[in-house]
Structure formats: C-alpha cells, structure tokens
Chains A and B, each alone.
Chain A
Amino acid sequence: MTPLPQNVRAIPDGHLPGGIIKLAIMAVGGQGGGVLTGWIEALARSQGLAVQATSVAGVAQRTGATIYYIEIAQADGGTPVLALAPSAGDVDIVIAAEMMEVGRAILRGLVTPDRTVLIGSTHRALAVSEKTAPGDGIADAEEVRAAAEIAARRLILADFDQLAVDAGSIISASLFGALAGSGALPFPRTAYEAAIRAGGKGVDASLRAFDAGFTAARAGGADAHPGEAPAPAPPSPQGPAPLLTAWQRLEDRARALPAPVQGMAMAGLQKVVAFQDPAYGAEYLDRLDRVLALDRTGDHALTRQAAKHIANAMAYDDVMRVADEKTRSTRFGRIRAEMGAGEVMQLTDYTHPRGEEIVSILPAGLGRWVHARPRLVAWIDRRVNRGRRLRTDRLRPFLQLWLIAGLRRWRRGTLRHAQEMRHLEAWLNTAMAQADRDPAFAIEILCARRLIKGYSDTHARGMSKFDRVMEGVACVAGRKDAADWTRRLVTAALADEDGKVLDGALRTIRSF
C-alpha cells in the first residue's frame, strides 16, 4: 500500500484502509449540496489528488433527503479504486446541512466514534410530517445532539444556515468554510478560497459565508444550547396616565400571587388587557383568585396552568382582535424589516369573513334573534362570504380594518363574548369541581383548552374535539387514573386532523 506523504495528515488516527479519505454530504434537495460537492472536488484536484464524487440527481432531489459522496486519494502509484456510495462505519468526514440530516447520518451508521468528524448545521428545515401535526410535531433536536456527541470523533455544530444568510449567501458556502476550519482535510485555507473563486458565481458573498463558517468551526461550533436563558421581566407598558394607574393596580395584584404563578399570570394579564382593557384584566385575576383558593397542589401547578389557559380563553380570536392585530404600527415595522423593504411596500391581507362572524359581533340579543333565523343567516352569509384581499397599505382598506378594530369597546356586549364566557365558565367549573379531590385531573382538564384554536372550520373541529374530550372526562371522573386518561385524550386529539385517534381512545374509555 502507498503511504500518504508528509503533507497529507493521516486521517484519522491512522485508520486508513488504503489511504482514502471518505466524505459524505447529507443535504435536503435545493440546499446546494451539488455546489459544495463541486468545490470539494475542485479543491482536492487542485492539490494533485485523485478524487471521485457521486450523487443522485433527478426527482430524488426535489426537497427530499439527498446524499453526496466524495473519495479523495493519492494520485501517484496508479489509479485508486474508489467506492460510489458511503458505507456504514467507513466515513471520515460527514457534513450534514440540517439538524435532522445530522440525525439521519448517525442513524445510517455513517458517523462512528473511531474516525468521523461530523460538521452539522443546527438549523431546522421541517419535514412535512412535523408540520402537519395539529399540535407540536417538531422532532427533538436535543436527542440528535446528544447522539452526535457520542457518535462523532469530533463534532462541530453551528447554525451554518444563519451564518450564510447573514452573509447573503447559501449554506454550501458556510459549510465549505466549516470544513476548512475543522482542519479535517490537509489543505490550506487559500486553496479552499481558490476553489470558490474558480467556481465564478456569487464569489464575494460565498467568500463572506465561507469566512463565517470557518470562524465558527475554529471556535469548535459556536452554538449555545438554546432555551437556557431565563425569560426577561416584561417591560412596563406605556400609555395614558389613568390606564397606567389601572395597570399598576393589576400588576400589584399579580405580584401578590405565589411565586411559581407570577410569570404566567403576568403574561396572561398582559394578553387579556391588550385584548380588551384593564377591567378585563381584573376579571382575569378574579378568576385566578378563585382557582388559587381551591388549589391544593404544593407548587401551585393548578393555578399556573389556569393562568395560562384562562388567558387564552379570554383572549379569543374574534374579528375585532384580528383587525386590531393587523392595524398596529409595530406590525408594519416588523414586516418592513423582515422583507427588507425600502420606501415602498405593498401589503395585501388575505381574509375570508363569513356570515357567522358578522352575526357573532352583533349585540347579544340581536345576534341571538338573527341566529335563530337560518334563512336570514344564510342571506347575510351570501352577502359577505367570499375571499377579500385588502391592500392594507392603502387608506380605504386600512380604514375598514381600523374601524372594525375600534368596535372592541362594544365587545363585551356581543353574542360572541356571551358564548365565549359561557363556554369558559363551564370548562373552568368542570375543572374546579375536581380541584379538591384530584388536582392532577383538574390540571389536565385545564390543559384540554389547548384543543380550541383556529378559525371557522378548524375552530369548529377544535371545539368538537374539545367537547369529545370533555365527554371522556365525564366518563373517567372518579377513577384513580383520570388525569392520565385525560392527558392521553388530549394527546390523541392532537395526533390527527379528523380526530380518528381520539375516537379510538374514547372507545377504550367507554369500554371501562
């Protein structure tokens, strides 16, 4: 066998069946994995080495997981025989352009502790299955990170996508920089940069991203564990003096709550006051006080959950709230910044009001009267039910939304408000009825509120799931494992859109 010359570092730890460097790139179609492969190939060739790259082009690349493979070997002493695909346990360098692709590389056995340098980007490009779950279906990146720490000989993790975007380039450039920074290949940095220059497209931006990737890799992957920083205290609000005085009173009340409840209660208080007014905040705190009086949990877990879900229930999504959110100055500023807009930006809001929503903001009495007349409701629906695109950057459409938002001062008198409050009380009472005997059960009943979300059909489906879970709650009440079952029902309800899993769980419960 031909030994590697001095300038080629024995990769890694002398484990070299034939002196071949094996490098796999795991990417998502459309990420530019082919560009990265081309650069690495040109780089190795410029160093006088034999190199072979392979990929799978075509339809497999359309947004799916895809893999590129490169082998590099000494060119003198004959033509080396190189493999066309990576093999488990036989890869020196893995570059994964997304966090779950890091996981996939490990899953496929391409990352092994004896030899593999693993360079991975921590950003997420969510798979369809993660996005479509009605609840939180996002895969656990921490599990992948933990596995990577065991599986890799050396691990370099950073958000290389963000580094590239900040540099105005794409991830292939920052990953190429990370490969250089890792020192896993025995080539000087200038050789890498020459490969980018030889490519000839978007050279400056690529070099900037390359540098960012290089630096991050040198720092060993400059990526702090997310979610560790404690939430900062909410800033005090601004506004007219009488409102601020009213707010201060509410804040004092919230601060008097037990410590474990305070954070959530403050967040909830802000939400309901922003939704309506300080008096509404007082109602919120009254409800919390009611829960607190019945709370037998040591750490006030019941009140904490109540603080969260009562706030969400009170700040329901009606037409006024949507119009209000759409006409705030902070929104326009945020969108401008996100889009990188200059002076002129057109803004079109996609809305589709239905007759029901209009009826629901009528005064409760009138609303009920209309509601009881299906033909009238249908007539109203025919008048309003169609997609409306509002050019909110123009005065007249903006004014429409602005006026609707202004209706919120009459919100308490609307049919929708009456319905929401009735529903809220019924739910809260069901939970509180269990607070004394089975606090864990009461907490789970509160958490079922999570199911109610969305608008129109989605909202109706959420409501129906919530109602069915409540039926289940009635069935299991009194059982030792009532809390467990309720939690299972909520999980089942979030598993699919139509609630088939939930139906299965309910059948089980009814069989008791």
Chain B
Amino acid sequence: MAERSFKAEVEHLRKGAGETFTGEGILAITKALLENGVGYVGGYQGAPISHLMDVLADAEDLLTELGVRFEANASEAAAGAMLAASVHYPIRGAVTFKGPVGVNVASDALANLSSSGVTGGALIIVGEDYGEGSSIMQERSHAFAMKSQFWLLDPRPNLPSIVKAVGDGFDLSEASGTPAMLMLRIRACHVTGQFETRDNRRPPLTVAEALSAPRREVSRIVLPPMSYAQEQDKIANRWPAALRFIRDHGLNEVFGPDQAPVGIICQGGMYNGVVRALQRLGLADMHGNTQVPIYCLNVTYPIVPEEFLGFCAGKDAVLVVEEGQPEFIEQQLATHLLRAGMPTRLHGKDILPMAGEYTGKVMLDGIEGFLRRAAPDQLPAQVRAPNAEAPVIPDLSQTVPARPPGFCIGCPERPVFAALKLVQKELGEHQISADIGCHLFGSLPPFNIGGATMGYGLGPASNGAFDGGRAAGGGKRPISIIGDGGFWHNGLTSSFGNMTFNKADAVAVVVDNFYSAATGGQDILSSRAENPTKATNHPIAKALRGIGIGWVRQIDRTYDVARMRDTLREALTSGLPGPKVIVASSECMLNRQRREKPRRAQAIREGRRVEAPRFGVDAAICTGDHACMRLSGCPSLSLKTLDDPLRDDPVASIDHSCVGCGNCGEVAEAAILCPSFYEARVVHNPGLWERRLNRWRQAAIGWLMRRREQRRLRFGGAG
C-alpha cells in the first residue's frame, strides 16, 4: 500500500468526452494514456513520478476492464525492457521513472530498443528531478535521447499541453518507428489544473491477443549485420520521418508578433517562466500575449532546422532558454545557423547561467539582460531606469538554520544509525558507504554516517575496493548500508552477489522498512503486507542465504539499540571471513501510523482497551547537555527553555507529535546518557480488574509520597 491513496482520484479516470478533469499533472498523464489506447504500462517509482505509479496501482480494476496490462517493474531497466512489446507488435506501451537516474538504469534497454525501432508507440515518461527539491545529482536526461536517437518531448507545463503531448508522443513514435520520451520537471508533475477529457480507448491489439499470435522480425534484432542497418535506418528514415511529423503537426509553437528585432527560443517546460519574466518586464499580459516572439520547443530533440531558421529570419538576435548543462540545444542551433550562413546573433548560456535551475529571478535577470543588450528600446522606461530604491531588509542568512530533509518522527532507521554511532565510539571511525533511500539521511547531522552514494542498490558494491581490507592487514572492516528498496532493485545481484563472489570481508546493513519508503511507500518483494496483485513476504535474509551468504543476522525490532549495537560489534569483530550482513527490520513509521492511527481511534471509540504510548522527559533531571539529540534528531524530541534563572541551557522536551517508538529511551539507556526519559502509556477503556489494581497501587504509592512530602519543605514550582 502506497503512502498516498488515489482510490478517489481513480474515478476521474473514467470520465468521458467533453467532461472536465481537475487535478494533478501526473494524474492527467494517466488519463491521457487511457485516452490514447495504451496497451501496457509500467515503471519504477521515484519522485517526482511516484504518484503516477501509485495511480496506476490503484487503477488496476479500470486497467483490467480496458485490457491494459500494468506491471510494477523491479527496476527502471526492467521497465525499459518491457517496451520490447512494442518492437514487433503494434501495441502502445508507456513506462515511467525518474530522470536522469532512472534513465541511467534503463539506458541499456533503451539503447537496444532505439536500435531495434518500434512498431507500436513506445513512450517513456520521465520526471526530471532537477533543481530545487531534487534529491539526486544534477544532470540532464537529454543526453540519452541524443546518444540513442530517440525523441524528446518537453511540453509546456499546463494540463492541456501535457495531455496533448502524450498523444503526440505516441503518434510521433509510430510515425518514425522510434521510441519517444516525455519529460516533465518536478513541479510540472505536481502542477494542478484542468483539461477537457475524451473517452478512454481500448487498445486495438491487447498484449493478451498478441501473446496468442507471436511475431518476430530478424531485422529488429540487435546483432550484426542488422545493428549496422539499424543505425543507417535511424538516420536515413526514422529521423526525417520524425522531422516531417513534428513540422506537419505543429508540435512546436510560435507565440507573439511575426516581425520583431529579437526572439526567444525555449524548451516547452521553460515557457511559463519565460512568459512570467516578460510579464514582469511589461512585455506580455497574463494570457501570454507577448511582444517578444517565442519559439517554444515542445519537442527538444530532434530540432527541426527549417522551423528554427524560419524563426530566426529577419531577427537581429535570439536568446535560447535551455535549462541545465551542457547546452545541447544551443550547440545544435549554432551549427544550423552557421551552416545556413545566417547573420542572427545567438545568445543563451553567455547571458543565462550554465548550471542550475532557471528560477523566476534567473529568468527575469537573463531576459532583461538579453533585451538590454540586443533590443534596449523594447524595455519599458521603468525597467531601463528604475527610480525606486529598494529598502534594506536585514540579512537573516546567519540566523535561519538550514533544514534539510531527515528521518520522520519515530523512524525505525534512526536507531540503526544511533547504534552505528555508538559502535564507532567504541571501535573507531569506519569506512562507510551508503545507498539510495531514506537511510541516506544518516549521512546528515546528527549522525554523519556514510560518505558515498553511488546509486540504487550499489551501496555494498561501492565498498568493493575495500573488501578484504582486514585480510590485507587493514584491521577494520568496511561497512555499507542499503535499503530494502535498493536491495531488490539491483542490490541482490550487483552488491551482494559481488560480495559473495569476491569473498568480501565486509559488513553490510540492510535497512528493511517493509516498503520502498523514500519513493512513497510502495510494496516490494519483502513487504509484509498482503497485496492481492503482487507477491510479497519474501524475506531478504532468505535471499541472502540463497546466494551463499552464511553470516546473516535478522533483527526484527530495530528500536532495540543495544542489540543493534551488539550485533554490529559482532559483525565488525567476528573472526569469521566472508560477508557479514545484518538485516534490520522494522516497519516505516509513516506508513504504520497511516494504517494504525484510524484503527486505534476507532477502537477507542468502540470502547475496546487500547494502550497509547508516548515519551516524556523530566525537565528537573535533564541537564541540557543535548547528548540525546546527537543520537536521535527525532522531530518530536526538541528543546524548551525553562523559566528558571539558574539554568543557562534549554532542556530536552518531547512534544505531542511523539508516536511512542521508544528510540529516545532506548538510546538513553544503551548509551548510558541520563535517566530523564520515561514512557507514559495511557490505557484507554481499561478493564474492571485493571482499574481496581491500579486504584490500589496508586493509593499505596500516594501514601508513600505524602508521607515523605509532609516531612519536608515543599516549594510550589520546584516539584
């Protein structure tokens, strides 16, 4: 079960012709896929396209009705490979994952697919995780389109344009026998809006029907000599077909006046930002009626030279607004201009920054700078010579603390890192590498554990060079951390197979939280939930033993910090050679609370007995040394400043958001920090005997307390 349920939204996917759809970009894509007669869909979750996978999973009934096959692929590579169904069969297929990391993983399949070419439309929907809010390295998926020769759509970021791009992508793919990639940036995936729906269409040929009438065509196989022919075919036939289609169907758009001294060429995804800058410069109105012509590339690869040169004709200068680096589009445009011998000056990354997101500010400064240089007369007087002095606002850069993402309240991964920190205090610092997933937050304060992340499922593999360090006399074993998501994505083979085969004398910790948690809580093979359409409950430890790892320790409650620490110590100091793997399993608290909170509230309402645990700190006993904070970082474990003139430093305090996981108490106990922590377990609807016993106990305890307190001085507040 994913973090967010789309059951309610899925109903919108049934809308027919002429109705209005209101919602998120990613849902609009799902609807568009159905309207375009897609035959199979799949992908791998990851921000910003996780919701697309979640919607598809929640929409399985509807997909089945329409004869559409949905596959929650094991990785992006698996998703890319699935598009093979469109090579020989005229079936439209779509897969989705995040870019560029997912495209990296899928690139082997995509390269083969592109060489083979397709019969049915093949659409790769990529959520480009670039700029603010991104959680990965900053690169472009654009390069993959260029190297493999598939087409790249980058529509304007509004729902009607995105929906249209899905249909255009399929049509373009089929017209040119080439897969197409539809790229959406982070915010475009989550942008809300409306569009007019069409009826859903059953695929003309379903995958089930194709299976009963298999086809093969030798020319599609990527083997010499066919592979040479395929390369020639890309250039001689598929490319010109694509250019023709793009031009004939007007996939790219031109806005603004026909005649103007300057113009702007932008990726479709940049269009709204360009218009906003022009609006702020007084050169466009709110509907995008612009005084500066814009050539909007809804298809960013391939470039249509005639269109581009036509746009440049009669203009003194053009500005290319292309986000990310290197400036692939600008370089191509420069080539075309030069070959055509055009006098138009080409600007782009000489004015706009080479790297980083094109934010509103960057765009405003860039376009203003371009106009100042190329057409100063176009700028309104107010912009050319502003007369208002901006007031000076105090600089808060030293005041406002950074707030990077971190482990949630009650996260079961926190104690794993607390234990690692404790074991390192005993045995010294170790070489530690991490993987992709929530556990990577362990590399941030307060834990500061792990110095590398090389990709999904590659945590233990990235310690490869250090394997055998102990045998070589290094003394310490390298440690790697990997999540359950990474384990099943690629880790079992690339990391653990690697460790086993090379007899690595190393330690790996598998953080098993029952889900692919960082991407939104999707089920995976080792999930504990019963999923009607997927096979779950395959233990990680069993898989590890299956590939020949003997030293495997399963921990079923990560909050047991002492046990976690002792197991780590054993792994690091054991005399046995070979890989040592600890599987640390506890359910993701975010998902657990989502499931249990309503149930608990229901049970309390119905009068059933429920224990609700929450932790607290005795302010009088806490000395304000904050040692517990350095081993926790839980958002509910915070500080409060006491109204006591004798105290300089704030003391620990646990707020009402605590879910009672027990980590702080366990840490205080295991690290021998202090006796300030307590767990209060409120019992709702206690039984008769329980109440009676409790009354008796409280009476006895109360008598003892009173007896002592009556013999001493009692200060009101000091209690």
A binds B: yes
Residue pair B48, A348 in contact (C-beta under 8 Å): no
User: B465 to chain A: closest CB distance in Å?
Assistant: 28
**Interface pairs (21), CB distance under 8 Å:** A56-B190, A74-B286, A81-B288, A82-B158, A84-B185, A84-B272, A100-B403, A128-B633, A130-B639, A132-B446, A138-B641, A139-B400, A144-B399, A238-B713, A239-B712, A267-B645, A329-B719, A335-B678, A345-B680, A389-B669, A456-B672
Q: Does A126 contact B (CB under 8 A)?
A: yes
Question: In the complex, given contacts A18-B279, A83-B360, what are 6 additional A-B residue pairs having Cβ atoms less than 8 angstroms apart?
Answer: A58-B46, A58-B47, A64-B403, A237-B715, A327-B704, A351-B669
| 8 tightest Cβ-Cβ pairs between the two chains A and B | A87-B360, A58-B47, A18-B286, A330-B719, A56-B133, A64-B405, A454-B625, A453-B623
One of B188, B408, B718 near A271 (C-beta < 8 A): B718
Residue B273 interfacial (CB < 8 Å): yes
Beta-carbon contact of B625 and A458 below 8 Å: yes
Q: Nearest chain A CB to B48's CB is how many angstroms away?
A: 6
Whole-angstrom distance from the CB of A307 to the nearest CB of chain B? 9
Of the candidates A59, A61, A113, A402, which one forms a contact with B704 in the assembled complex, judged by CB atoms under 8 Å apart? A402
Bound-state CA distance A393–B709 (Å) is 18
Across the interface, do B648 and A135 meet the contact criterion of CB distance under 8 Å? yes
**Contact between A344 and B623, CB atoms less than 8 A apart:** no
From 44 to 93 in chain A, residues with beta carbon under 8 angstroms from any chain B beta carbon are: 45, 51-67, 69, 73-74, 77-90
Minimum CB–CB distance from A132 to chain B (whole Å) comes to 5
Across the interface, name the chain B residue whose C-beta is closest to A452. B623
A324 nearest in chain B by CB position: B708
Contact with B along A103-136 (1 / 0, CB 8 A): 1101101011100000000001111111111111
- Beyond A131-B639, A150-B394, whether A387 also contacts B562 by CB under 8 A is yes
Choice from A66, A130, A311, A342 contacting B682 with Cβ under 8 Å = A342
> Contact at A450–B648, with CB atoms within 8 Å?
yes
B683-705 contact mask (Cβ, 8 Å, vs A): 1 or 0: 11010001100100110111011
A112 to B393, CA, bound (A): 9
B646 touches A398 (CB 8 A): no
Residues 262-292 of B, flagged 1 when their CB comes within 8 A of A and 0 if not, give 0000000001110110011010111110000
Q: B313-321, B325-333, B542-550, B614-622: which lies at the A interface? A: B614-622
**What is the interface residue range for chain A against chain B?**
35 or more
A87 touches B359 (CB 8 A): yes
B51 and chain A: residue at smallest CB distance? A57
Asked if A2 is an interface residue, CB under 8 A from chain B, the answer is yes
Q: Is B402 located at the chain interface by the 8 A CB criterion? A: yes
Cβ contact of A231, chosen from B157, B645, B683, cutoff 8 A: B645
Query: Which applies to chain B's interface (DSSP): helix, strand, loop or mixed?
Result: loop
- Kindly specify which of A240-248, A371-379, A434-442, A471-479 makes contact with the partner chain: A240-248
The reply on A341 being an interface residue by CB < 8 A is yes
The listed residue (B135, B616, B714) touching A58 by CB distance below 8 A is B135
Q: Does A13 contact B (CB under 8 A)?
A: no
Which one of B69-77, B437-445, B473-481, B528-536 is at the interface?
B437-445
Contacts A58-B47, A398-B701, A455-B673 hold; do A237 and B714 have CB atoms under 8 A apart?
Answer: yes
Q: How far is the CB of A158 from chain B (nearest CB, A)?
A: 18
Q: Is residue B650 within 8 Å, beta carbon to beta carbon, of the partner chain?
A: yes
Tell me which residues across on chain A come within 8 A of B361, comparing CB atoms: 87-89, 109
Q: Which of B415-461 contact A (CB under 8 A)?
A: 438, 441, 444-446
Residues of B within 8 A of A392 (CB): 678
Whether A78 and B396, one on each chain, are in contact in the complex, defined by CB atoms closer than 8 angstroms, is: no
Check A335 against B616 for contact (C-beta < 8 Å).
yes
Q: State A57–B715 Cα separation when bound (angstroms).
A: 51
Q: Does A228 make an interface contact (CB < 8 A)?
A: no
* A112–B280 alpha-carbon span in the complex (Å): 15
Contact (Cβ within 8 A) B715 A104: no
CB distance from A76 to the nearest CB of B (A): 11
CB nearest neighbor in B for A349: B678
Within 8 A of A (CB), among B41-55: 46-48, 50-51
Whether, in the assembled complex, B112 has its beta carbon less than 8 Å from a beta carbon of chain A, the answer is: no
- Docked complex Cα distance between A450 and B700 (Å): 39
Q: Mark B92-113, 1 if CB is under 8 A from A, else 0.
A: 0000000000000000000000
Q: Residue A317 contacts which of B288, B392, B519, B623 (CB distance < 8 angstroms)? A: B623
Bitwise interface map of B from 538 to 563 toward A, beta carbon under 8 Å scored 1, else 0: 00000000000000000000000010
Q: Are A129 and B445 in contact (CB under 8 A)?
A: yes
Interface size of B by Cβ–Cβ distance < 8 Å? Answer: 135
List the A side residues contacting B638 at CB < 8 Å: 124-126, 131
Closest CB of chain B to A443's CB: distance in Å? 14
Contact of A63 among B46, B188, B562, B635 (CB under 8 A): B635
User: When the two chains form their complex, are residues B191 and A52 in contact, meaning their CB atoms are under 8 A apart?
Assistant: yes
Which residues in chain A, 225-239, are within 8 Å of chain B measured between CB atoms? 231, 234-235, 237-239
Give A275's nearest chain B residue, CB to CB: B718
Q: Given the known A-B contacts A131-B629, A150-B393, A455-B674, are A53 and B272 also in contact in the complex, defined by CB atoms under 8 Å?
A: no
Q: Are B644 and A65 in contact (CB under 8 A)?
A: no
Q: Would A63 and B445 count as touching, CB distance under 8 A? A: no
CB pair A450–B649 under 8 Å, yes or no, is yes
CA distance A436 to B390 in the complex (A): 53
Please, how many angstroms separate the alpha-carbon atoms of A328 and B711 in the complex? 13
- Contacts A87-B276, A458-B627 given; does A103 touch B405 at CB 8 Å: no
- Residues in B with CB closer than 8 Å to A308 are 645-646
Within 8 A of B (CB), among A392-408: 392-395, 398-399, 402, 405-406
**B364 interface residue (CB < 8 Å to A):** yes
- What residues of chain B lie closer than 8 Å to A263, measured between beta carbons? 645
A19 at the interface (CB under 8 A from B): yes
Give complex CA distance A29, B190 in Å.
16
Q: Which of A62, A88, A274 contacts B441 (CB 8 A)?
A: A62
B287 in complex: contacting residue of A77, A107, A129, A144, CB < 8 Å: A77
Q: Which listed residue (A2, A104, A125, A339) contacts B400, Cβ 8 A?
A: A104
Provide the residues of chain B in CB contact with A237, threshold 8 Å.
713-716
Q: Tell me the complex Cα distance, A366–B674, Å.
A: 26
A354→B185 CA distance, assembly (Å): 56
Which of A131, A325, A354, A399 makes the CB contact (< 8 A) with B633? A131
Give A465 Cβ to nearest chain B Cβ, in Å.
11
**CB of A252 closer than 8 Å to a CB of B:** no
Check A387–B445 contact: CB distance below 8 A: no
Q: Which residues of A contact B618 (CB under 8 A)?
A: 325-326, 331
Cross-chain contact A350 with B396 (CB below 8 angstroms): no
Give the most central of A58, A231, A264, A271: most B CB within 10 Å.
Answer: A58
B668 is an interface residue with CB less than 8 A from chain A: yes
> What is the bound-complex CA distance between A382 and B250, given in angstroms?
81
Q: Answer yes or no: A298 CB below 8 A from chain B CBs.
A: no
Closest approach, in angstroms, between the C-beta of B404 and any C-beta of chain A? Answer: 5
Q: Mark B596-620, 1 if CB is under 8 A from A, else 0.
A: 0000000000000001001010101
Check A14 for interface membership: any CB of B closer than 8 A.
no
Report A-chain residues with C-beta under 8 Å of the C-beta of B271: 81
Is A59's CB under 8 angstroms from B616's CB?
Answer: no
- Interface: A279 (CB within 8 A): no
Alpha-carbon distance between A28 and B630 when the two chains are bound, in angstroms: 21
**A393 and B697 form a contact (CB under 8 A):** yes
Task: Determine if A346 is an interface residue (Cβ-Cβ < 8 Å).
Answer: yes
CA distance A150 to B522 in the complex (A): 46
Query: B11 on the interface (CB 8 Å rule)?
Result: no
Contact with A along B31-63 (1 / 0, CB 8 A): 000000000000000111011000000000000
Docked pose: A407 CA to B682 CA in angstroms: 31
Contacts A53-B192, A87-B360; A107 near B396 (Cβ below 8 A): yes
- Say yes or no: B704 contacts A398, CB within 8 Å: yes
Bound Cα distance from A2 to B614, whole angstroms: 56
- Provided the pairs A30-B635, A85-B359 are in contact, do residues A344 and B403 lie with their beta carbons within 8 angstroms? no
Whether B648 lies near A240 (C-beta < 8 A) is no
B212 CB, nearest partner CB in chain A, Å: 40
A138:B621 contact, CB within 8 angstroms: no
- Taken together as a complex, chains A and B put the C-alpha atoms of A130 and B633 apart, in Å, by 10
Question: Is A129 a contact partner of B402 (Cβ separation < 8 A)?
Answer: yes
Cα A175 to Cα B391 with chains together (Å)? 28
Give the distance to chain B from A293, nearest Cβ to Cβ, in Å.
23
